[in-house]
Chain A
Amino acid sequence: KQEVTQIPAALSVPEGENLVLNCSFTDSAIYNLQWFRQDPGKGLTSLLLIQSSQREQTSGRLNASLDKSSGRSTLYIAASQPGDSATYLCAVSTGANSKLTFGKGITLSVRP
């Protein structure tokens, strides 16, 4: 059974800091991995998707990496801003179907 872990559960950093959010999964036979952002009381916004054959994806100030063999992914946020404050969720898919297994998320607070 696939399990996804995100530690720590919460993180507070000063504005401008570069930071790394970690995600680990137990079954390396994944199809893809997605990082999402969730603002309070809202739905999820897809940030980056990494296919199992890829090592990283970049979008603006965000960079996500994937190491399948060790069961790890990281989301790197450069030059953090208060607007980056949200919960960041990592989710893996083990097939071409749409079932995602989520971590519990990391709640990020960026202090002005």
Chain B
Amino acid sequence: KAGVTQTPRYLIKTRGQQVTLSCSPISGHRSVSWYQQTPGQGLQFLFEYFSETQRNKGNFPGRFSGRQFSNSRSEMNVSTLELGDSALYLCASSLIGRGIQNIQYFGAGTRLSVL
């Protein structure tokens, strides 16, 4: 079974640009979550999507947005990039259901550098 796939692996952008990151979850997983990892703040929750609906949102500005498609693939978008947006962006998928362990499976991440 293929794991969580994130594309691209690396991105270099300049301030003010926008960027779109993609995440394909494990087959059958309908929940996709996004996290930002920086050396200073560690791992911080961005948002979670389940069945194409955003169920949870972290404390990030509106420049960060996401969506989920009917095949559970998810994208996140960051508009008007700032230097502080440089980070490793991680996507996780999980199988949600009563009696099912909610183990989160993470992708390898997208390393975003904003110059």
Chain A residues in contact with chain B, CB under 8 A? 31-32, 34, 36, 41-46, 49, 51, 89, 91, 93, 96-105
Contact = CB atoms under 8 A, between A and B. Distances in A.
Q: Which of A49, A102, A105 has the largest number of chain B CB atoms within 10 A? A: A102
13 contacts: A36-B106, A42-B109, A43-B106, A44-B92, A46-B103, A46-B104, A49-B101, A97-B31, A97-B48, A98-B48, A99-B56, A100-B35, A102-B35
A109 to B, nearest CB: 18
Contacts of A101: 45
Interface in B29-61: 31, 33, 35, 42-45, 48, 50, 55-56, 58
A93 B103 contact: no
A108 to B, nearest CB: 16
A31 B3 CA distance: 25
B42 A103 contact: yes
A42 B88 CA distance: 9
Contacts of B105: 46
Nearest to A1: B59
A89 B6 CA distance: 21
Contacts of B43: 89, 91, 100, 102
Given A43-B90, A44-B90, A105-B42, A100 B106 contact: no
B102 interface: yes
B107 interface: yes
B108 interface: yes
A41 B108 CA distance: 8
A100 B56 CA distance: 11
B88 to A, nearest CB: 8
Contacts of B35: 100, 102
A75 B45 CA distance: 23
Given A44-B90, A89-B43, A105-B42, A100 B109 contact: no
